[in-house]
Amino acid sequence: MMTKRHPWFDIDPGPKAPNQVHAFIEIERNSRLKLELEKQTGFLIVDRILHGAVHYPHSYGFIPQTYCDDQDPLDIFVLCSETIPSGTIVEAKVIGAMRMTDQGELDDKIIAVAMGDPAFDEIFNITQLPIYQRSELKKFFEEYKTLEKKEVIVEDFMNHDEAAEAVRQSMDSYQREAERLKAKYGQSPD
């Protein structure tokens, strides 16, 4: 009998992490449907529909086997010239991050580009993205919870080195917490 692998616990963050990572895509670009990992089952569930005309400008998900202060895996935006379907694992090159606070909790967002996409082959740092793409990402997070009357503070972008360090720290945090997290969410230990 084949068992379903849990995307948070059973998929590694990538052999070249923290610079190049596996990203599990929860939300397709241009979607208003906020899907989220259900931690007990590993399935994607509908969390909500974004209010207003706001939609995700790029594919959005998390890096497996990471853990952050908000009790979730580390969030990641993956820029790609094609839509990456929900539930897909994509190899992504970390280029930066956005420092953000969501309702009082630190909630950084890693920014990456899909490996093998010629549109992004020469991008290695967030500063190499056109200004309009950086502005689009920042504007999305400044506005996506406004109509829900939830406070989000978007600071500035972090460069590649700072983002890679955030990935490394979240991987270390996961390793410290893995046994407790697996027990909490009904997963068998390694």
Read off the pLDDT of residues 96-111 as tens digits, 9 standing for 90 and up: 999 988 777 788 999 9
**Helix residue ranges per DSSP H, 29-130:** none
Residue extents of the structural domains in the chain: 20-178
Which residue numbers in the chain have pLDDT < 50?
Answer: 1
Q: Can you give the pLDDT at residue 100?
A: 87
Q: Using CA atoms, how far apart are residues 82 and 67, in angstroms rounded to an integer?
A: 28
SS3 track for 83-103: CCCCCCEEEEEEEEEEEEEEC
Residue type, 181: L
Task: Name the CATH code of domain 20-178 (choices 3.30.465.10, 3.90.80.10, 3.40.30.10, 3.40.50.300).
Answer: 3.90.80.10
Written as six digits, the tokens of 149 are 């009357």
Read off the pLDDT of residues 145-180 as tens digits, 9 standing for 90 and up: 776 777 778 888 999 999 999 999 999 999 999 999
